[in-house]
Amino acid sequence: MKKKILVIEDEKKLAKIIKNFLEKNNFEVVDLYDGEDAIITAETFNPNLILLDWMLPGLSGLEICRQIRSNKSINK
């Protein structure tokens, strides 16, 4: 079973580079470009690891981190 990684990065080119690298190393990857969908995607995708940009449009990386840490359905 592949480990799951959620990449949240607003620079699309960088996000694709990271995603391609991780997929070549046998990870299942979902990439997002803003903070708006991060919480919902983290709940549904249930990643083992989240790579989170600090400065994002919409929700900041810090706010996303706070919400994910306080969300019991993500923090299992």
Question: What are the pLDDT digits (tens) for 2-12?
Answer: 999 999 999 99
Residue 75's pLDDT band, with cuts at 50, 70 and 90, is low
Domain positions in the chain = 4-70
Tell me the CATH architecture of domain 4-70.
3-Layer(aba) Sandwich (3.40)
> What distance in Å separates the CA atoms of residue 52 and residue 65, rounded to the nearest whole number?
8
pTM to 2 decimal places: 0.91
Residues in the chain: 76
| pLDDT for residue 76 is more than 70 | no
Give the pLDDT mean for 41-70.
92
Mean pLDDT in the chain?
Answer: 93
Kindly state the average pLDDT of the residues 59-74.
89
Q: Would residue 26 be called left, alpha or beta, if left means φ above 0 and alpha means ψ between -120 and 50 degrees?
A: left
